[in-house]
């Protein structure tokens, strides 16, 4: 086996030992000295060779180290760049989402403001003495406006769902009552189309459950509305069942049906059965997409079975949560005229002249001898509030000079000098969650969106006038 070459360190020690031995040995002959010097010379040569080798190895290692450091630096710079690009992309996405939300809020406001006037004036015209042809035209305006409002609401709901901002309540409600409320809603449609609408409730259904009745009603209304849209003969059956601790609602019609191919994509955004369906029946194609998202986010399922030419059955299943408390289920707000006191004093802050007309004439029509005053901005509302006492202040938000938020905050700050609290209801086209929260944060007692249902407004006034804080 070949012996290992001595390291530079060992060679240096060996030379030092030989030199020391040579210097100590005074009796060495010239031949011995010469031999010792030759050995030392060889050792020095080996040391020199070893040093050169180590130098080359060291140079190579340093070169590799420099390359490695350079590569690491390049990778670090690349990662820094990637991280910066990712942060910039995230910021752009967040900024884009903000712009999208602001755009939708602005569009909602700009559309709802004239829609409030259109629907409000059409509703007022219905109560006037009109010729039959005039009534037909007014009803056409009213129904078309209501259909447009459904489309607007669909777009806003889809935006909330995509942003993950949809919230769900958990309150008591009666499943059977919801079906009866929906049936009442469509009684006029039943007469117009001359078809039947049946309600079926299973015997094992609990009287009260826990969930979100508003969103459930929204889904079922969409399904029933579609059933009426596509059914011209026969009728529609609404069922609610308790199957294996699952709350199951069914909407079955005898309409045109849906092909197997179209069933697979009917819940996708902007999809309808075919282009002929869109042209003939209208709609955005968002209703079923929104319904599916609302049900799935509550841990439920929505689906269908259908035969072309025979009809369709849509079903909605939700986890059954029985209400075990004595708390009364939430019922649909009654549409009967609220019993508000005669001579109700209402201050209206609204800058749009058509909406002023709608609010004033609606209150004159539905209230007994109301005292009404209209102002065009928040500053005028504050001054009118200072001079007289009012039962309720209906406050628009986007007004010149002073907006509704600022006016409400000023009134609340001045109330410390008075002994009573003013009832302030926001009447606004801004109906997104942040806008509603901003109204309540400014000190408003309640919010009603435009376009408003007259009875919803009167019920809201009555409820807040009777609340303990008023």
State which fold the 171-319 domain adopts. Answer: Heat Shock Protein 90 (3.30.565)
In CATH terms, the superfamily for domain 345-465 is Response regulator (3.40.50.2300)
Q: Which pLDDT value is given to residue 386?
A: 93
Nearest CA to 108 among 152, 151, 144?
Answer: 152
DSSP 258: -
The residues facing 307 across adjacent strands are: 311
As a whole number of angstroms, the distance between CA 92 and CA 80 comes to 18
Any residues with CB less than 8 A from the CB of 159 and at least 6 apart, and which? 100, 101, 104
pLDDT given at position 423: 95
pLDDT value of position 282 = 46
pLDDT score, position 322: 86
Given this model, what pLDDT does residue 20 score? Answer: 66
Predicted local confidence at residue 195, as pLDDT:
94
Query: Regarding beta strands 392-395 and 345-349, do their DSSP bridges make them parallel or antiparallel, or are they unpaired?
Result: parallel
Q: Find out whether 255 and 351 touch, Cβ atoms under 8 Å.
A: no
Asked if 89 and 416 touch (Cβ cutoff 8 Å), the reply is no
Write down the pTM of the prediction. Answer: 0.56
Structure-token pair, residue 255? 């309409």
Return averaged pLDDT per consecutive 10 residues of the chain, 470 residues in all. 52 64 63 68 72 81 87 88 87 76 72 83 84 82 74 69 70 89 82 92 90 87 90 94 91 93 77 47 66 89 93 93 67 52 94 92 91 96 94 94 95 85 91 85 93 87 76
């Amino acid at each position: 086996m070949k012996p290992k070459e001595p390291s530079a360190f060992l060679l240096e020690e060996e030379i030092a030992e030989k030199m020391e031995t040579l210097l100590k040995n005074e009796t060495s002959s010239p031949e011995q000295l010469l031999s010792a010097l030759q050995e030392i010379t060889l050792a020095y040569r080996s040391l020199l060779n070893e040093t050169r080798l180590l130098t080359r190895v060291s140079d190579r290692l340093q070169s590799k180290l420099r390359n490695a450091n350079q590569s690491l630096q390049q990778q670090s710079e690349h990662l820094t760049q990637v991280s910066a690009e990712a942060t910039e992309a995230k910021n752009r996405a967040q900024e884009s989402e903000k712009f999208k939300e602001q755009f939708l809020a602005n569009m909602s406001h700009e559309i709802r403001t004239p829609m409030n006037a259109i629907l409000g004036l059409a509703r007022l015209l219905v109560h006037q003495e009109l010729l039959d042809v005039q009534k037909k035209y007014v009803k056409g305006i009213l129904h078309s406006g209501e259909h447009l409002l459904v489309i607007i609401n669909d777009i806003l709901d889809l935006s909330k769902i995509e942003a993950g901002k949809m919230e769900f309540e958990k309150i008591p409600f009666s499943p059977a009552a919801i079906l009866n409320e929906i049936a009442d809603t469509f009684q006029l449609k039943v007469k117009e189309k001359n078809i039947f609408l049946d309600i079926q409730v299973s015997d094992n259904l609990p009287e009260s459950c826990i969930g979100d009745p508003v969103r459930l009603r929204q889904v079922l209304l969409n399904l029933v509305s579609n059933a009426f849209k596509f059914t011209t003969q026969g009728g529609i059956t609404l069922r609610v069942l308790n199957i294996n601790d699952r709350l199951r609602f069914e909407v079955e019609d005898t309409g045109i049906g849906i092909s197997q191919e179209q069933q697979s994509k009917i819940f996708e955004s902007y999809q309808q059965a075919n282009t002929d369906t869109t042209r003939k029946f209208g709609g955005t194609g968002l209703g079923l997409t929104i319904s599916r998202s609302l049900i799935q986010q509550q841990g439920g399922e929505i689906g269908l079975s259908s035969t072309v030419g025979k009809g369709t059955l849509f079903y909605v299943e939700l986890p059954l949560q029985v209400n075990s408390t004595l708390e009364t289920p939430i019922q649909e707000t009654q549409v009967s005229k609220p019993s508000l006191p005669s001579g109700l004093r209402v201050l209206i802050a609204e800058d749009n002249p058509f909406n002023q007309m709608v609010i004033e004439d609606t209150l004159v029509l539905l209230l007994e001898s109301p005292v009404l005053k209209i102002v065009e901005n928040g500053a005028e509302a504050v001054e009118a509030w200072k001079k007289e006492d009012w039962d309720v202040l209906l406050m628009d938000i986007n007004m010149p000079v002073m907006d509704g938020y600022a006016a409400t905050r000023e009134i609340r700050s001045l109330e410390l000098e008075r002994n009573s609290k003013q009832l302030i209801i926001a009447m606004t086209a801004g109906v997104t969650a942040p806008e509603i929260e901003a109204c309540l944060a400014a000190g408003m007692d309640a919010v009603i969106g435009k376009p408003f249902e007259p009875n919803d407004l009167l019920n809201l006034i009555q409820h807040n006038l009777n609340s303990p804080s008023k």
